[in-house]
Amino acid sequence: MKAAESEVPDAHFTVDKQNISLWPREPPPKTGSPLVLRKPCTVRAVVIVLTLVVLASVLLQAILYPWVMGALSDIKTNAQLLKGRVDNVSTLSSEIKRNRGGMEAAGIQVQMVNASLDHMHSQIQRLETDVKKANAQIQMLTKSWEKVNNLNAQIPELQRDLDKASALNTKVRALQSSLENTGKLLKRQSDILQMISQGWKYFKENFYYFSRVSKTWYSAQQFCKSRDSHLTSVTSESEQEFLYKTAGELVHWIGLTKTGSEGDWYWVDDTPFDKVQSMRFWIPGEPNNAGNSEHCANLKMSSLQSWNDASCDSHFLFICKRPYNPQEL
C-alpha cells in the first residue's frame, strides 16, 4: 500500500487551452474488495468528492481565470515588446554593421582630430608663452608710457623755455649780425685810418693820394701804380667837386690821356670815358691841344670846370686813386 500511495501523484488541475483536466485521473477500481458491500458508500463518497472537486474547480476557475488571462495578456504584451526590442536590436545590429566603415572612417577622423588637438595644444602653449612675453612687454611699455606721459607733462614748460630760447636765439643772431657788421665797420675804420696815416684821403669807397712832388704824367702814373693805384679818373660831379676842392689852386695831373694827337680820350684805370658827361668838367675852350702836343689832362682850376689838356712831359702834382677793397687790406 505504501508503494502504491507513493506512486499516486497529488491531486491538482492544469489549464490547457482553457480546458480543465483533473489529475490524477480517477483511480482504477480496487481489486480484491467485496463490491457488493462497499459499493454504495464508495460511490457516494466518490460522487461527493467529485462534486466537491468540480465545485472547487469551478470556483477556482471562476476566481483564477481572470488573473490567469491577465497574466497571459501581460506575457503576450511583454513577448511582443521583447520581439519589438529584438527586432530593434537586429535592426541596430545591421545598421552597426553598415556603419562600421563609417565608424572606422570616423575613427580615423577622430585620430586626425586628436592630432589636430595635440597640434592646437602645442600652439596654445606657444601662444601662452607669447602672451606672457607680450604681457612683459606691455608692462615695459606701460612704464615707458608713464615716462612719456611725464615727459609730455613737461612739454608745455619746455615749449615756453623753447620759445624763450628761440627769442634769445633771435636776439643773439641779431647781436651776432650786428657784431659782424660792427667788426666790418671797425675793419673798415681801421683800413681807412691806416691809409690816411699813409697820406691817402677817403671819399666814397675810394682812396686818393695828392702828391707833394711834381712829375711828368707818365712818371706820376708809374708812381701811382707802385702804390696799387692809378692816376685818378672822374666819373661824377661829386667826385669832381671833391678833387678840385682838395687840390686847391694847385694843378694836378689826372688819369685822362689819349692815344696820339688825333686819338680819343680814355681813363688810364680802364674806367669807360663818357665824352658827353665829361664835357661839363673841361675849362671852357679846352681841350685845345695847344701846340698840337697836349695829350694829357689835369685839374687846373678850383671849380667844376677845371680840366685842361697839357703836354704830358710837363711837371705837375698828381692825384692817385685806389678803390677800397676790404679783402686787399
Binding residues (CB under 6 A) for ligand 2F8: these are: 286, 288, 290, 294, 308, 310-311, 314
Among 145-153, 225-233, 240-248, 305-313, which window interacts with Ca ion (CB under 5 A)? 305-313
The minimum distance between CB 216 and ligand 2F8, in angstroms, equals 12
Contact status: 309 vs Ca ion (CB under 5 A): yes
Q: Name which of 57 and 314 has its Cβ closer to ligand 2F8.
A: 314
Q: Name which of 211 and 308 has its Cβ closer to Ca ion.
A: 308
Q: Using alpha carbons, select from 234, 242, 244, 219 the residue that is nearest to residue 265.
A: 234
229 touches which of ligand 2F8, Ca ion, none (CB within 5 to 8 A by kind)? none
The minimum distance between CB 286 and Ca ion, in angstroms, equals 5
Among 3-11, 170-178, 240-248, 285-293, which window interacts with Ca ion (CB under 5 A)? 285-293
For 39, 210, 212, 311, 324, the CA distances from 252, given in Å and listed in that order, are 213, 8, 10, 13, 22
Q: Name which of 295 and 322 has its Cβ closer to ligand 2F8.
A: 295
The minimum distance between CB 252 and ligand 2F8, in angstroms, equals 13
Q: Name which of 94 and 288 has its Cβ closer to ligand 2F8.
A: 288
Identify whether the C-beta of residue 190 lies closer than 8 Å to the C-beta of residue 182.
Answer: no
Dist. CA 297–CA 307, nearest whole Å: 6
Instruction: Please give the backbone phi and psi of residue 272, each rounded to the nearest 5 degrees, phi first.
Output: -60, 135
Contact status: 123 vs Ca ion (CB under 5 A): no
Helices (H), the chain: 2-7, 35-197, 217-226, 237-247, 275-278
The minimum distance between CB 245 and Ca ion, in angstroms, equals 22
Which residue bears the cell 460522487?
47
The number of residues making up the chain comes to: 329
The minimum distance between CB 280 and Ca ion, in angstroms, equals 17
Contact status: 288 vs Ca ion (CB under 5 A): yes
Query: 309: part of which helix (H) or strand (E)?
Result: strand 307-310
The minimum distance between CB 283 and Ca ion, in angstroms, equals 8
Q: Name which of 98 and 280 has its Cβ closer to Ca ion.
A: 280
Q: Name which of 157 and 262 has its Cβ closer to ligand 2F8.
A: 262
Q: Name which of 196 and 290 has its Cβ closer to ligand 2F8.
A: 290
Contact status: 296 vs Ca ion (CB under 5 A): no
Contact status: 308 vs Ca ion (CB under 5 A): yes
314 touches which of Ca ion, ligand 2F8, none (CB within 5 to 8 A by kind)? ligand 2F8
Q: Using alpha carbons, select from 235, 195, 227, 178 the residue that is nearest to residue 324.
A: 195
Beta carbons within 8 Å of 92's beta carbon, 6+ residues apart: none
- State the chain's maximal CA–CA distance in angstroms: 230
Note the Cα 7 to chain centre separation in Å.
Answer: 115
End-to-end CA, the chain: 179
Q: Read out DSSP for 38-72? A: HHHHHHHHHHHHHHHHHHHHHHHHHHHHHHHHHHH
Question: CB atoms < 10 A from the CB of 300, how many?
Answer: 21
The minimum distance between CB 255 and Ca ion, in angstroms, equals 17
269 touches which of ligand 2F8, Ca ion, none (CB within 5 to 8 A by kind)? none
Q: Name which of 224 and 299 has its Cβ closer to ligand 2F8.
A: 299
Grid cell at residue 247: 687840390
Q: Characterize the bridge pairing of strands 19-23 and 12-16.
A: antiparallel
Contact status: 152 vs Ca ion (CB under 5 A): no
57 touches which of ligand 2F8, Ca ion, none (CB within 5 to 8 A by kind)? none
Q: Which residues bind Ca ion (CB under 5 A)?
A: 288, 290, 294, 308-309
